[in-house]
Homo-oligomer: A and B are copies of this chain.
Amino acid sequence: MTLLSTLREELGADAVLTDPDVTAAYSRDEMPLAPAGVPLAVVLPSDVAGVRATVRACAEAGVPIVPRGAGSGICGGANAIEGCVVLVTTKLDEILEIDADNRLAVVQPGVVNLHLRDAVAKHGLFYPPDPSSYDWCTIGGNLATNAGGLCCVKYGVTADSVLGLEVVLADGSLLRTGRRTVKGVAGYDLTKLFVGSEGTLGVITQATLALRPLPQAPGTLVAAFSSTRDAGAAVSRIVREGLVPSLMEIMDAATIAAVENHLNTDLGAGSRSGALLLCQSDAGGEVAHRELAALQQVCADAGAEMTHATEDLAEGNLLMQARRSVHYALAALGANMTDDVCVPRTRIADLIEGCERISEEVGLRIAVCGHAGDGNMHPTVVYDAAAEGEFDRARKAFDAILDLGLALGGTVTGEHGVGKFKQDWLEREIGPVGLRVHRQLKRALDPDGLFNPGSMFSLE
């Protein structure tokens, strides 16, 4: 029996797609620059048994599997490789349990992040991880990439909200990691090994997630600085003074200009503004009031030309709208390459100023915004894909920014991942011993290279 007929028999014919016009929709994520092959088939199992059957059949046939959720990733991690089976987890979309008294939820990987947020909010609870694509990305993808978001400065990344997993291994067996308790040290932390492994070690079929009390509606502060240096100094002082806002985003001058143009509005930053800082406090009431006042004072002391604090939720949402529209504002200007470097928080100004230098060198616009509270910056190179040589210059700028990030003591990916796009950069960051250990672990759990081969790193 061929692989396709086995898959059809095990999953049902409807769950196995082979029409190239249809499978094309599942062969790429949101990173246009990463390579993608044509899959042999796309399968959409609706239960764990279907996932296990798929893995066993592919292992038997020696056909690689690329697991994916919604495909919102931006490192090509979910991109098909030639002749593979793309295993889509979106039909495993049940919230199996919400245990409000123990503040945890048990979910299948296909649950959309926003759906989980809404469901637990009804119990007065909060699932913090909030990648930009939170209204359509899935928990499974969030787990596979250890997704971040705007919440991280106060609440950490996806890994910080995971208690345990159920994973289908390369031989089709089912591994349960972690636990339902808050603490536990029985054995190696297998949970954290699978979180962020980008589908290279197994297929996550269930997750037990830690929830938090639902925070209060946030108050918001916006501060405009004449230079990124001043804004960077404000971030350092906020960290130094032990303030922990629930959100702290930075936008440089190029980003401000693009957003003002796109939204046809004035962000109040003034024409000479070099950088905007957006902070929120979700501590509620008097505490939020004091946190915002303290943040405002630090910004003023650091030389802010304008600060404005509001505890009005609608006004705060309008200000956040500016931050959330950056992607669209830049997309309106041309093709984009968005970097994802994370630097020590004291080096944010150095990174932005370095991006200005690189922008001049390559003659392309580079707009920087990012999560200032944890140093995770997203410089975006804007280019005209049709113009001779611009792509190459954009790629040169993109790489120069990664280089700068490493030189500043940072990492080449703060939250987007390595996928099929930054393998060389991973190798450079972790070095030969780190790479060897990655290969040893991969071979230990997936000796035949069944899962997402060539993603993150190659076995040879």
Residue ranges of A at the interface with B (Cβ–Cβ < 8 Å): 99-103, 124, 145-146, 148, 152-153, 157, 159-160, 169, 173-177, 179-190, 192-193, 195-197, 212-214, 236, 239-244, 286-287, 342-346, 371, 373-376, 409-418, 422, 425-426, 429-431, 433-434, 437-438, 440-441, 443-445, 456-457
Contacts and interface: CB of A to CB of B under 8 A. Distances in A.
A181 B411 contact: yes
A344 B187 contact: no
A411 B184 contact: yes
B443 A236 contact: no
A186 B373 CA distance: 19
A186 B342 CA distance: 11
A375 B183 contact: yes
Nearest to A431: B176
B244 A183 contact: no
B196 A183 contact: no
Contact of A437 (B101, B175, B457): B175
A67 to B, nearest CB: 16
A126 to B, nearest CB: 9
B345 A102 contact: yes
A36 B342 CA distance: 46
Nearest to A425: B186
B187 A418 contact: yes
Given A159-B189, A182-B345, 4 more contacts: A157-B185, A182-B374, A185-B416, A286-B286
Contacts of A145: 185
A434 B101 contact: no
19 contacts: A101-B239, A102-B345, A148-B185, A159-B192, A180-B410, A181-B344, A181-B375, A181-B409, A181-B414, A184-B414, A185-B415, A185-B416, A186-B422, A188-B196, A189-B192, A189-B196, A190-B437, A214-B242, A443-B444
A151 to B, nearest CB: 11
Contacts of A443: 444
A353 to B, nearest CB: 18
B186 A102 contact: no
Contact of A157 (B183, B196, B213, B214): B183
Q: Which 3 A-B pairs have the closest CB atoms?
A: A213-B242, A444-B444, A192-B192
A160 B159 contact: no
Nearest to A184: B411
B240 A181 contact: no
Contacts of A213: 241-244
B187 A430 contact: yes
A129 B109 CA distance: 32
Given A176-B433, A181-B414, A182-B152, A438 B188 contact: yes
A185 B417 contact: yes
Contacts of A441: 188, 193, 441, 444-445
A409 B185 contact: no
B102 A415 contact: no
A456 B187 contact: yes
B180 A434 contact: no
Given A180-B344, A433-B174, A186 B440 contact: no
Contact of A146 (B152, B182, B185, B457): B185
Given A101-B346, A192-B192, A148 B440 contact: no
Contacts of A418: 185-187
A102 B239 contact: yes
Nearest to A283: B287
A200 to B, nearest CB: 8
Contact of A182 (B124, B173, B375): B375
A236 B187 CA distance: 28
Contacts of A159: 189, 192
